[in-house]
Amino acid sequence: GPSQPGTQMMLSGGSFGQINGAAQAGFKKDNVDGLIQVDVNRRDGFRVYNGSERVSGHANVGVSPSENVSTRF
């Protein structure tokens, strides 16, 4: 969006098979802006029943037709 233009990516890892990845891209053009984010986390865990996997995503688009009116989806 307007406060996070461009792209970012992050990758990290740790003990017990932990790996984390994240990416985001934002843009602003004229009176329209948007942002999309994706996070992926995985770990084997200390014990067999401790493992986990998670994938999440988020996106939004904003429109400002005038200085006093704006909306976000």
Percent of the chain whose predicted confidence (pLDDT) is above 70: 95
Of the pLDDT bands very low, low, confident and very high (cuts 50, 70, 90), residue 3 is low
**pTM for this predicted structure:** 0.75
- Close Cβ partners of 67 (under 8 Å, ≥ 6 residues apart): none
Q: Give the model's pLDDT for residue 5.
A: 74
For residues 39 and 25, is the Cβ–Cβ distance under 8 A? no
* pLDDT tens-digit map of 13-33: 999 999 999 999 999 999 999
- Three-state DSSP at 66 gives strand
Token code pair at residue 35: 């942002």
